[in-house]
Copies of this chain bind each other. A is one copy, B any other.
Amino acid sequence: MSFWAPFPEIQQDLDRVRSVIDSEISTPGGIVSQGLGDLARRDAKLLRPGFTVLAARIRNGGNPASEGIVHLAAAIEMLHMASLIHDDIVDNAATRRGQEALHVTHGSRLAVLLGDFLFARSFTLVAEHARSSNARVLSPSVARLVSAAIAEVNDQGQLDLSPRRYLHRIVGKTAILFALSFHVGAVESTPTGEDDRVVQTLRRIGYNLGVGFQIVDDLLDISGDPAKTGKPRGTDLRSGIITLPLIVALQQDPKNELSGMVREIRRGRGHVDRLLEQVTRRLEQSGALSATAAVAERYTHRANRELMRLPLGRDREILGSVAVRLLQRSA
Protein backbone atom coordinates (compact mmCIF):
# COMPACT_ATOMS: atom_id res chain seq x y z
CA MET A 1 0.00 0.00 0.00
CA SER A 2 1.27 3.43 -0.87
CA PHE A 3 2.50 5.57 2.02
CA TRP A 4 -0.14 8.23 1.38
CA ALA A 5 -3.08 5.89 0.72
CA PRO A 6 -4.70 6.63 4.11
CA PHE A 7 -4.95 10.29 3.08
CA PRO A 8 -6.92 10.30 -0.19
CA GLU A 9 -6.79 14.08 -0.67
CA ILE A 10 -3.00 14.03 -0.60
CA GLN A 11 -2.95 10.95 -2.78
CA GLN A 12 -5.06 12.76 -5.38
CA ASP A 13 -2.61 15.66 -5.56
CA LEU A 14 0.26 13.18 -5.75
CA ASP A 15 -1.37 11.42 -8.69
CA ARG A 16 -1.08 14.74 -10.51
CA VAL A 17 2.56 15.02 -9.43
CA ARG A 18 3.16 11.56 -10.81
CA SER A 19 1.67 12.53 -14.19
CA VAL A 20 4.07 15.45 -14.43
CA ILE A 21 7.02 13.17 -13.67
CA ASP A 22 5.75 10.58 -16.16
CA SER A 23 5.41 13.18 -18.86
CA GLU A 24 8.89 14.60 -18.16
CA ILE A 25 10.35 11.13 -18.41
CA SER A 26 8.44 9.92 -21.45
CA THR A 27 8.99 13.04 -23.59
CA PRO A 28 12.60 12.40 -24.67
CA GLY A 29 11.84 8.80 -25.74
CA GLY A 30 14.53 6.18 -26.40
CA ILE A 31 16.86 4.99 -23.72
CA VAL A 32 16.15 7.97 -21.43
CA SER A 33 12.46 7.15 -21.17
CA GLN A 34 13.11 3.47 -20.92
CA GLY A 35 15.74 3.70 -18.18
CA LEU A 36 14.04 6.36 -16.07
CA GLY A 37 10.55 4.93 -16.66
CA ASP A 38 11.82 1.71 -15.17
CA LEU A 39 12.84 3.51 -11.99
CA ALA A 40 9.78 5.76 -11.80
CA ARG A 41 7.37 2.82 -11.97
CA ARG A 42 8.85 1.28 -8.84
CA ASP A 43 6.97 1.90 -5.66
CA ALA A 44 8.24 5.17 -4.19
CA LYS A 45 6.96 6.78 -1.00
CA LEU A 46 6.83 10.23 -2.67
CA LEU A 47 7.53 11.72 0.75
CA ARG A 48 9.06 14.98 -0.42
CA PRO A 49 6.35 15.91 -2.94
CA GLY A 50 3.80 14.82 -0.34
CA PHE A 51 5.29 17.34 2.10
CA THR A 52 5.16 20.09 -0.52
CA VAL A 53 1.51 19.40 -1.24
CA LEU A 54 0.69 19.15 2.46
CA ALA A 55 2.43 22.45 3.26
CA ALA A 56 0.57 24.13 0.40
CA ARG A 57 -2.77 22.85 1.74
CA ILE A 58 -1.98 24.05 5.24
CA ARG A 59 -1.42 27.51 3.73
CA ASN A 60 -4.28 27.56 1.26
CA GLY A 61 -7.02 26.37 3.60
CA GLY A 62 -7.12 22.72 2.56
CA ASN A 63 -7.69 23.11 -1.16
CA PRO A 64 -6.07 20.92 -3.83
CA ALA A 65 -2.57 22.02 -4.74
CA SER A 66 -2.22 24.53 -7.59
CA GLU A 67 -0.64 23.52 -10.90
CA GLY A 68 2.51 25.39 -9.91
CA ILE A 69 2.81 23.45 -6.64
CA VAL A 70 2.24 20.16 -8.45
CA HIS A 71 5.09 20.97 -10.86
CA LEU A 72 7.44 22.05 -8.06
CA ALA A 73 6.63 18.91 -6.09
CA ALA A 74 7.50 16.90 -9.22
CA ALA A 75 10.77 18.85 -9.52
CA ILE A 76 11.70 17.99 -5.92
CA GLU A 77 10.98 14.28 -6.43
CA MET A 78 13.03 14.28 -9.66
CA LEU A 79 15.90 15.92 -7.82
CA HIS A 80 15.64 13.17 -5.22
CA MET A 81 15.57 10.48 -7.95
CA ALA A 82 18.65 12.00 -9.59
CA SER A 83 20.55 11.91 -6.32
CA LEU A 84 19.47 8.30 -5.69
CA ILE A 85 20.78 7.26 -9.11
CA HIS A 86 24.14 8.92 -8.53
CA ASP A 87 24.37 7.75 -4.91
CA ASP A 88 23.82 4.16 -6.01
CA ILE A 89 26.73 4.49 -8.43
CA VAL A 90 28.87 6.03 -5.70
CA ASP A 91 27.95 3.39 -3.10
CA ASN A 92 28.03 0.63 -5.68
CA ALA A 93 24.61 -0.41 -4.38
CA ALA A 94 23.13 -3.44 -6.12
CA THR A 95 19.46 -2.77 -5.48
CA ARG A 96 17.04 0.14 -5.23
CA ARG A 97 13.41 -0.14 -4.24
CA GLY A 98 13.65 -3.92 -4.21
CA GLN A 99 14.98 -4.21 -7.74
CA GLU A 100 18.32 -3.86 -9.48
CA ALA A 101 19.75 -0.35 -9.30
CA LEU A 102 19.79 1.65 -12.54
CA HIS A 103 23.58 1.48 -12.90
CA VAL A 104 23.28 -2.31 -12.72
CA THR A 105 20.60 -2.59 -15.40
CA HIS A 106 21.91 0.19 -17.66
CA GLY A 107 25.61 0.49 -16.77
CA SER A 108 27.28 3.16 -14.64
CA ARG A 109 28.11 5.38 -17.57
CA LEU A 110 24.59 5.75 -18.82
CA ALA A 111 23.33 6.03 -15.24
CA VAL A 112 25.54 9.11 -14.71
CA LEU A 113 23.82 10.80 -17.65
CA LEU A 114 20.31 9.67 -16.70
CA GLY A 115 20.85 11.29 -13.30
CA ASP A 116 22.12 14.45 -15.00
CA PHE A 117 19.04 14.51 -17.20
CA LEU A 118 16.77 14.45 -14.16
CA PHE A 119 18.81 17.20 -12.49
CA ALA A 120 18.50 19.38 -15.58
CA ARG A 121 14.77 18.78 -16.02
CA SER A 122 14.19 19.38 -12.32
CA PHE A 123 15.94 22.76 -12.50
CA THR A 124 13.91 23.55 -15.60
CA LEU A 125 10.65 22.95 -13.75
CA VAL A 126 11.87 25.14 -10.90
CA ALA A 127 12.87 27.95 -13.30
CA GLU A 128 9.44 27.75 -14.94
CA HIS A 129 7.21 27.40 -11.89
CA ALA A 130 8.93 28.81 -8.80
CA ARG A 131 9.09 32.39 -7.60
CA SER A 132 12.64 33.54 -8.09
CA SER A 133 13.15 33.73 -4.31
CA ASN A 134 12.35 30.01 -4.10
CA ALA A 135 14.60 29.19 -7.05
CA ARG A 136 17.40 30.96 -5.19
CA VAL A 137 16.80 28.80 -2.13
CA LEU A 138 16.59 25.50 -3.98
CA SER A 139 19.88 25.34 -5.86
CA PRO A 140 22.25 25.96 -2.91
CA SER A 141 20.44 23.13 -1.13
CA VAL A 142 21.33 20.82 -3.97
CA ALA A 143 24.98 21.82 -3.55
CA ARG A 144 24.62 21.00 0.15
CA LEU A 145 23.04 17.63 -0.71
CA VAL A 146 25.96 16.80 -2.98
CA SER A 147 28.50 17.97 -0.38
CA ALA A 148 26.93 15.63 2.17
CA ALA A 149 27.29 12.74 -0.26
CA ILE A 150 30.93 13.70 -0.79
CA ALA A 151 31.48 13.85 2.98
CA GLU A 152 30.03 10.36 3.24
CA VAL A 153 32.53 9.07 0.67
CA ASN A 154 35.29 10.92 2.49
CA ASP A 155 34.35 9.44 5.87
CA GLN A 156 34.20 5.88 4.56
CA GLY A 157 35.87 3.41 6.88
CA GLN A 158 36.67 6.09 9.42
CA LEU A 159 35.70 4.58 12.77
CA ASP A 160 36.25 7.56 15.07
CA LEU A 161 33.35 9.57 13.64
CA SER A 162 31.70 11.92 16.12
CA PRO A 163 27.90 11.97 16.52
CA ARG A 164 28.17 15.64 15.59
CA ARG A 165 29.78 14.92 12.24
CA TYR A 166 27.25 12.18 11.57
CA LEU A 167 24.44 14.59 12.30
CA HIS A 168 25.91 17.26 10.03
CA ARG A 169 26.09 14.67 7.24
CA ILE A 170 22.50 13.47 7.55
CA VAL A 171 21.21 17.03 7.77
CA GLY A 172 22.77 17.66 4.35
CA LYS A 173 21.76 14.27 3.01
CA THR A 174 18.11 14.29 4.09
CA ALA A 175 16.90 17.03 6.43
CA ILE A 176 17.66 20.00 4.17
CA LEU A 177 15.55 18.64 1.34
CA PHE A 178 12.74 17.66 3.73
CA ALA A 179 12.73 21.20 5.13
CA LEU A 180 12.83 22.65 1.65
CA SER A 181 9.92 20.51 0.45
CA PHE A 182 7.75 22.09 3.14
CA HIS A 183 9.22 25.54 2.54
CA VAL A 184 8.50 25.56 -1.19
CA GLY A 185 4.92 24.39 -0.77
CA ALA A 186 4.23 26.94 1.97
CA VAL A 187 5.91 29.98 0.40
CA GLU A 188 4.40 29.42 -3.05
CA SER A 189 0.95 29.29 -1.47
CA THR A 190 1.42 32.50 0.50
CA PRO A 191 0.03 35.41 -1.55
CA THR A 192 2.77 37.86 -0.65
CA GLY A 193 5.41 35.13 -0.69
CA GLU A 194 6.60 36.37 2.68
CA ASP A 195 8.50 34.13 5.05
CA ASP A 196 6.17 34.25 8.03
CA ARG A 197 5.88 32.22 11.21
CA VAL A 198 3.90 29.37 9.66
CA VAL A 199 6.48 28.97 6.88
CA GLN A 200 9.29 28.86 9.45
CA THR A 201 7.40 26.34 11.57
CA LEU A 202 6.80 24.08 8.58
CA ARG A 203 10.48 24.28 7.66
CA ARG A 204 11.51 23.30 11.19
CA ILE A 205 9.07 20.39 11.10
CA GLY A 206 10.66 19.24 7.84
CA TYR A 207 14.13 19.52 9.33
CA ASN A 208 13.29 17.46 12.42
CA LEU A 209 11.34 14.86 10.47
CA GLY A 210 14.29 14.60 8.08
CA VAL A 211 16.87 13.93 10.79
CA GLY A 212 14.55 11.39 12.44
CA PHE A 213 13.82 9.74 9.09
CA GLN A 214 17.48 9.29 8.24
CA ILE A 215 18.30 7.85 11.67
CA VAL A 216 15.46 5.33 11.24
CA ASP A 217 16.82 4.56 7.76
CA ASP A 218 20.23 3.86 9.21
CA LEU A 219 18.66 1.64 11.90
CA LEU A 220 16.70 -0.30 9.26
CA ASP A 221 19.92 -0.89 7.36
CA ILE A 222 21.19 -2.80 10.39
CA SER A 223 18.13 -4.52 11.78
CA GLY A 224 15.37 -4.12 9.18
CA ASP A 225 13.64 -6.91 7.31
CA PRO A 226 15.20 -7.13 3.81
CA ALA A 227 11.84 -8.31 2.42
CA LYS A 228 10.39 -4.95 3.47
CA THR A 229 13.32 -2.55 2.98
CA GLY A 230 14.10 -3.99 -0.45
CA LYS A 231 17.85 -4.23 0.23
CA PRO A 232 20.08 -6.65 2.14
CA ARG A 233 21.05 -5.85 5.72
CA GLY A 234 24.34 -4.13 6.40
CA THR A 235 24.60 -2.34 3.04
CA ASP A 236 26.11 0.71 4.74
CA LEU A 237 28.60 -1.28 6.78
CA ARG A 238 29.76 -3.28 3.77
CA SER A 239 30.69 -0.03 2.01
CA GLY A 240 32.31 1.39 5.15
CA ILE A 241 29.58 3.92 5.90
CA ILE A 242 29.50 4.38 9.67
CA THR A 243 26.12 5.44 11.11
CA LEU A 244 24.79 6.38 14.53
CA PRO A 245 24.10 2.91 16.04
CA LEU A 246 27.70 1.96 15.42
CA ILE A 247 29.07 5.31 16.57
CA VAL A 248 27.19 4.82 19.85
CA ALA A 249 28.42 1.26 20.26
CA LEU A 250 32.02 2.09 19.38
CA GLN A 251 32.13 4.50 22.30
CA GLN A 252 31.99 1.44 24.58
CA ASP A 253 34.39 -0.90 22.85
CA PRO A 254 37.35 -1.09 25.25
CA LYS A 255 38.89 -4.22 23.74
CA ASN A 256 38.38 -2.97 20.16
CA GLU A 257 36.50 -6.15 19.31
CA LEU A 258 33.70 -4.35 17.53
CA SER A 259 36.03 -2.11 15.53
CA GLY A 260 38.00 -5.19 14.54
CA MET A 261 34.88 -6.85 13.15
CA VAL A 262 33.88 -3.70 11.29
CA ARG A 263 37.29 -3.49 9.66
CA GLU A 264 37.07 -7.14 8.61
CA ILE A 265 33.65 -6.52 7.02
CA ARG A 266 35.02 -3.50 5.18
CA ARG A 267 37.89 -5.55 3.81
CA GLY A 268 35.33 -8.07 2.55
CA ARG A 269 37.47 -10.88 3.93
CA GLY A 270 36.19 -13.97 5.67
CA HIS A 271 32.56 -14.62 6.42
CA VAL A 272 31.12 -11.16 5.99
CA ASP A 273 27.55 -12.34 6.55
CA ARG A 274 28.46 -14.05 9.80
CA LEU A 275 30.42 -11.00 10.96
CA LEU A 276 27.45 -8.77 10.14
CA GLU A 277 25.20 -10.94 12.29
CA GLN A 278 27.68 -10.70 15.15
CA VAL A 279 27.85 -6.93 14.85
CA THR A 280 24.07 -6.67 14.77
CA ARG A 281 23.73 -8.84 17.87
CA ARG A 282 26.31 -6.76 19.65
CA LEU A 283 24.52 -3.53 18.74
CA GLU A 284 21.29 -4.98 20.14
CA GLN A 285 22.82 -6.29 23.35
CA SER A 286 24.83 -3.15 24.07
CA GLY A 287 21.67 -1.06 23.86
CA ALA A 288 23.09 0.94 20.91
CA LEU A 289 20.05 0.21 18.73
CA SER A 290 17.55 1.37 21.32
CA ALA A 291 19.69 4.40 22.20
CA THR A 292 19.68 5.34 18.51
CA ALA A 293 15.94 4.78 18.24
CA ALA A 294 15.52 7.15 21.18
CA VAL A 295 17.40 9.85 19.26
CA ALA A 296 15.09 9.41 16.27
CA GLU A 297 12.13 9.64 18.61
CA ARG A 298 13.45 12.85 20.12
CA TYR A 299 13.53 14.53 16.67
CA THR A 300 10.02 13.31 15.92
CA HIS A 301 8.84 14.78 19.23
CA ARG A 302 10.39 18.10 18.29
CA ALA A 303 8.49 18.02 15.00
CA ASN A 304 5.28 17.25 16.88
CA ARG A 305 5.85 20.09 19.31
CA GLU A 306 6.29 22.48 16.38
CA LEU A 307 3.10 21.09 14.88
CA MET A 308 1.09 22.58 17.74
CA ARG A 309 1.85 26.04 16.38
CA LEU A 310 0.09 25.29 13.08
CA PRO A 311 -3.56 26.17 12.45
CA LEU A 312 -5.92 23.41 13.56
CA GLY A 313 -7.42 21.28 10.82
CA ARG A 314 -7.41 18.11 8.82
CA ASP A 315 -4.02 18.79 7.16
CA ARG A 316 -2.32 19.35 10.52
CA GLU A 317 -3.80 16.03 11.67
CA ILE A 318 -2.43 14.30 8.59
CA LEU A 319 1.00 15.75 9.26
CA GLY A 320 0.95 14.49 12.84
CA SER A 321 -0.03 11.05 11.68
CA VAL A 322 2.69 11.10 9.00
CA ALA A 323 5.32 11.92 11.67
CA VAL A 324 4.35 8.80 13.64
CA ARG A 325 4.27 6.61 10.54
CA LEU A 326 7.77 7.76 9.55
CA LEU A 327 9.12 6.87 12.98
CA GLN A 328 7.46 3.47 13.18
CA ARG A 329 7.98 2.37 9.62
CA SER A 330 9.65 -0.90 8.68
CA ALA A 331 10.36 0.02 5.06
Contact = CB atoms under 8 A, between A and B. Distances in A.
A259 to B, nearest CB: 24
A128 B138 CA distance: 11
B127 A136 contact: yes
Given A119-B119, A132-B132, A32 B150 contact: yes
Nearest to A144: B120
A113 to B, nearest CB: 5
Interface residues of A, number: 43
Contacts of A154: 30-31
Nearest to A152: B113
Nearest to A79: B120
Contact of A143 (B90, B121, B153): B121
B113 A142 contact: no
A125 to B, nearest CB: 8
A121 B140 CA distance: 7
A122 to B, nearest CB: 9
A89 interface: yes
Interface stretch (A12-20, A41-49, A104-112, A197-205): A104-112
B86 A153 contact: no
A140 B153 contact: no
A117 interface: yes
A32 B112 contact: no
